[in-house]
Amino acid sequence: MRIDKYLWSTRYFKTRNQATIACKKGHIKVNEQAVKPSREVYPMDKLIVRKNQINYQLTVLDIPPSRVGAKLVDIYRKDTTPKEAFAQKDLLQYSKDYYRKKGTGRPTKKDRREIEGYTDAHDDFFTDTSEEE
């Protein structure tokens, strides 16, 4: 079975076209080699699928006859993705929330007040509040 059809039938991609595009971009590797969408997949092949900034590591157990239900997917593949890959994505999400989005323009009055409130709190720390005589 073709790699794009396999990834579609095991529900890693919603459409075969998406799986084909991922193969062409080099996001799919079979046995550590980037592949074309027409590459045949055989049992015991090791796949690396880069999707949503996570490298999923899979082992092909069997070839499905066609697209299978979500409950039956584990019959045809074994997911060996390490837990650290998912934790890394969570950390990346937190870092994205910290920065302002591109194209949001200048800070609003509310943003400015929050910034000033933050800097005023630091100014009190650095200024000497003892009375000079």
Which has the closest alpha carbon to 34: 22, 42, 44? 22
From edge to edge, which strands make up the β-sheet containing 28-30?
33-34, 28-30, 46-51, 54-60, 77-79
Q: What is the pLDDT of residues 12-33, one digit of tens each?
A: 999 999 999 999 999 999 999 9
Q: What average pLDDT does the chain have?
A: 83
Question: 3-82 adopts what CATH topology?
Answer: 3.10.290
Tokens of 88: 């890394």
For residue 123, name the pLDDT band (cuts at 50, 70, 90): low
Tokens of 14: 């919603």
Q: What is the pLDDT of residues 30-77, one digit of tens each?
A: 999 999 999 999 999 999 999 888 899 999 999 999 999 989 999 999
Instruction: Say what the pLDDT of residue 47 is.
Output: 93
Query: Does pLDDT of 131 surpass 70?
Result: no
Measured distance CA(93)–CA(103) in Å, rounded = 19
Query: Does pLDDT of 111 surpass 90?
Result: no
What are the structural domain ranges in the chain?
3-82
